[in-house]
C-alpha cells in the first residue's frame, strides 16, 4: 500500500509538467528540459570561462576585472564556440552581489563599436552603439541587479546611464572595429581601450571598497560536459543568481521544467535531495539539439531566425534562443549584426578535404554599413582552423581582395589554390572534418538585408 501511495504522490507531483506518471523521464521530457535550460548552461560556461578560465587567453582573471585585447583572436581561443575574428574585445566581468558596478567607457574613432551585456540567462542588451550615435564621447554607466546590496536604482551624481541586469554575474562586452587597414586609427583605438575603467559604486563615490562575499561555483567547462556531469548543480546556482519574471513565458516554463527535479530558486543544492538523472542521456540529447541548431543556422534554404536571435528578454522565444546558445553565445541582434550561414550548392556539408569556392559579384556583397566577413570553423567544436598563416576569416580585418568588377571569390582548401590571392583563401587544415562558414554583417542595411540572399559554396 505504501508503494502504491508513493507512486500516486510521484504521479501527482509531475502532472502538468509533461513528465510520465511513473516518475521516469521520457526522451521528450529530457529534450524539453535541455531546450529550456540550454541558454543558462551555455552562458554559465561562457561567462565563467571569460572570468576564471586560466587557459582562456582572453580571461579577466577574476570578477570585477577586465580583459583588454591588443590583437584580434586567433586559434588559441578555445573558451567559446565560434569566436570573433573581426573586432577587438574588451570584456568586463561583473559580480553585482555586494555592490553596484560602474564602468567608464572612453570615446572611439571607429566605424563600429558596441557594448553588449548578458547574464547567465543569455538575453542580450545593447545599451551603447555607434549605430545609435554613442561612443563619440566618454560614457559612465552603472550596473546592478535586484539582489545588489545597498543600491536600489536611485540616481547617482556622475552616472550617465544605469542598467538593471537580470543576473548577479554578467558580462559587459565591448566590440571595437580596429580599423586595421588604417594604422593610425588602429593605434588610436587600441589606446582608447586602455582608458576604460571598472570599479564598484563605493569606489566611484570615494568610499572604501566593500568586502566581497564568498562564492563557490560549480564546475564549468563546455555545454555537453555540464549536461553530463553536473547539470542540476549548475542550474541551482544559476537559479539562485537570476531574476525571473512571473509574466515571462520562457522564465516560467524553465522553472516548471526543473522544479520536479528538485531545482528551485532560493534552494541550497543537495545531491541527496534532487532527482537522480542520467547524465549520459542528457548529454546525448544535448548533442542532438546542437546538431539540429547548427543545421538550422546553415540551412541552405535560409535561416528563419536571423532577425530573431540575440534579443532583449521580452523579445525572445525559445527556438531562436536555443539556436543562438548552441551556435555561439554572445552575438549581436539583427540591427547591429547579422550572421548568415553559408551552405553548399549540393546541399552537403563542407568537408576539409574538398576545395570550395564562394562567389559574389559586387551587387551580391553583403549590405553592410560598417563591414562584413566570412569565417571558417570546425563544425564539432566551433573553433578556428589552426594554420601557419593565422588566416581564419575573409574581410576588412582578416584580409580580402576584390576583383576588377568589385566582386570576390573566396576559396576554402587545405592548400592555397593556384592563382588565388592569399587574402581570399581560407585554409581548411589537415584533418578530415566537417566545416562551417558563418558570415558577419556589421551595422547591416536592414531594408536591403531582407531581400539579400547569402551565397553558397560550390565544391570544385
Residue at 80 is within a domain: yes
User: What are the tens digits of pLDDT across the range 344-361?
Assistant: 999 999 999 999 999 999
Residue 243 is given by DSSP the state: -
Q: How far is CA 277 from the centre of its chain?
A: 27
Q: Final residue of a domain: which of 204, 238, 271?
A: 204
Q: How many domains does the chain have?
A: 2
**Chain segment 140-149, per-residue pLDDT in tens:** 999 999 999 9
131 part of a folded domain: yes
Q: Which three cell numbers stand for residue 92?
A: 568586463
- Within a domain: residue 158? yes
CA–CA dist 296, 305 (Å, integer): 9
Domain of 410, in residue numbers: 340-459
Give the global pTM: 0.83
Q: Which three cell numbers stand for residue 8?
A: 500516486
Whether 170 is covered by a domain: the verdict is yes
Q: Are strands 425-427 and 408-413 parallel, antiparallel or unpaired?
A: parallel
Q: Is the pLDDT of residue 38 over 60?
A: yes
Pick from 77-81, 161-165, 189-193, 352-356: least confident: 77-81
CA atoms within 13 A on the CB side of 231: 26
Inside any domain, residue 64: yes
pLDDT of residue 17: 42
To 10 degrees, what angle do helices 231-240 and 249-258 make? 140
Q: Residues 291-319: pLDDT tens digits?
A: 999 889 877 567 788 889 999 999 999 99
- Residues 6 or more apart whose CB falls under 8 angstroms from that of 155 comprise none
pLDDT digits (tens, 9 = 90+) for 61-93: 999 999 998 888 899 888 778 888 888 999 999
CA 128, CA 134: separation in Å to the nearest integer? 6
Assess if residue 137 is contained within a domain.
yes
Residue 17 domain flag: no
Structure confidence at residue 82 (pLDDT) = 86
> Which of 183, 204, 225 corresponds to the end of one domain?
204
Q: Is 17 exposed, middle or buried (0-12, 13-18, 19+ CB in 10 A)?
A: middle
Domain containing residue 99: CATH number: 2.60.40
Angle CA(386)–CA(388)–CA(390) in degrees, nearest 5?
Answer: 65
Q: Give the CATH number of the domain where residue 367 resides.
A: 2.60.120.600
Task: Tell me what the mean pLDDT of segment 6-23 comes to.
Answer: 39
- Any domain includes 321: no
Query: Of 204, 239, 272, which residue is a domain's last?
Result: 204
The answer on pLDDT for 21 being more than 70 is no
pLDDT surpassing 60 at residue 103: yes
Q: Is 375 in a helix, a strand, or coil?
A: strand
Amino acid at each position: 500500500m505504501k508503494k502504491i501511495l508513493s507512486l500516486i504522490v510521484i504521479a501527482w507531483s509531475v502532472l502538468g509538467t509533461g513528465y510520465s506518471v511513473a516518475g521516469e523521464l521520457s526522451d521528450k521530457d529530457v529534450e524539453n528540459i535541455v531546450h529550456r535550460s540550454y541558454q543558462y548552461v551555455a552562458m554559465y560556461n561562457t561567462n565563467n570561462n571569460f572570468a576564471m578560465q586560466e587557459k582562456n587567453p582572453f580571461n579577466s582573471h577574476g570578477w570585477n576585472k577586465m580583459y583588454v585585447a591588443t590583437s584580434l583572436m586567433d586559434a588559441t581561443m578555445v573558451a567559446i564556440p565560434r569566436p570573433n575574428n573581426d573586432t577587438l574585445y574588451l570584456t568586463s566581468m561583473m559580480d553585482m552581489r555586494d555592490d553596484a558596478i560602474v564602468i567608464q567607457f572612453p570615446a572611439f574613432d571607429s566605424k563600429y563599436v558596441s557594448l553588449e551585456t548578458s547574464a547567465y540567462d543569455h538575453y542580450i542588451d545593447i545599451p551603447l552603439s555607434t549605430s545609435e550615435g554613442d561612443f563619440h564621447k566618454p560614457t559612465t554607466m552603472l550596473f546592478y541587479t535586484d539582489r545588489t546590496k545597498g543600491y536600489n536604482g536611485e540616481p547617482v551624481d556622475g552616472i550617465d546611464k544605469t542598467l538593471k541586469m537580470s543576473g548577479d554575474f554578467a558580462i559587459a562586452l565591448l566590440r571595437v572595429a580596429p580599423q586595421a587597414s588604417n594604422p593610425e586609427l588602429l593605434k588610436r583605438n587600441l589606446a582608447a581601450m586602455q582608458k576604460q575603467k571598472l570599479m564598484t559604486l563605493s569606489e566611484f563615490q570615494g568610499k572604501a571598497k566593500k568586502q566581497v562575499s564568498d562564492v563557490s561555483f560549480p564546475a564549468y567547462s563546455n555545454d555537453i560536459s555540464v549536461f553530463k556531469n553536473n547539470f542540476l548543480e549548475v542550474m541551482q546556482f544559476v537559479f539562485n543568481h537570476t531574476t525571473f519574471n512571473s509574466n515571462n513565458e520562457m522564465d516560467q516554463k524553465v522553472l516548471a521544467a526543473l522544479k520536479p527535479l528538485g531545482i528551485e530558486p532560493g534552494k541550497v543544492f543537495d545531491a541527496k535531495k534532487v532527482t537522480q538523472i542520467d547524465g549520459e542521456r542528457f548529454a546525448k540529447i544535448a548533442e542532438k539539439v546542437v546538431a539540429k541548431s547548427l543545421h538550422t543556422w546553415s540551412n541552405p534554404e535560409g535561416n528563419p531566425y536571423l532577425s530573431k536571435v540575440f534579443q532583449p528578454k521580452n523579445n525572445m522565444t525559445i527556438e531562436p534562443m536555443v539556436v543562438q546558445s548552441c551556435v555561439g553565445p554572445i552575438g549581436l541582434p539583427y540591427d547591429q549584426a547579422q550572421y548568415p550561414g553559408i551552405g553548399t550548392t549540393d546541399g552537403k556539408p563542407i568537408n576539409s578535404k574538398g576545395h570550395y569556392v564562394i562567389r559574389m559579384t559586387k551587387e551580391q556583397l553583403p549590405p553592410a554599413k560598417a563591414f562584413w566577413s566570412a569565417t571558417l570553423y570546425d563544425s564539432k567544436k566551433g573553433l578556428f582552423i589552426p594554420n601557419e598563416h593565422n588566416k581564419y576569416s575573409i574581410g576588412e580585418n582578416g584580409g580580402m581582395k576584390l576583383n576588377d568588377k568589385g566582386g570576390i571569390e573566396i576559396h576554402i582548401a587545405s592548400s592555397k589554390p593556384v592563382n588565388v590571392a592569399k587574402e581570399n583563401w581560407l585554409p581548411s587544415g589537415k584533418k578530415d572534418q566537417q566545416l562551417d562558414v558563418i558570415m558577419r554583417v556589421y551595422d547591416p542595411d536592414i531594408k536591403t538585408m531582407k531581400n539579400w540572399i547569402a551565397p553558397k559554396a560550390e565544391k570544385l
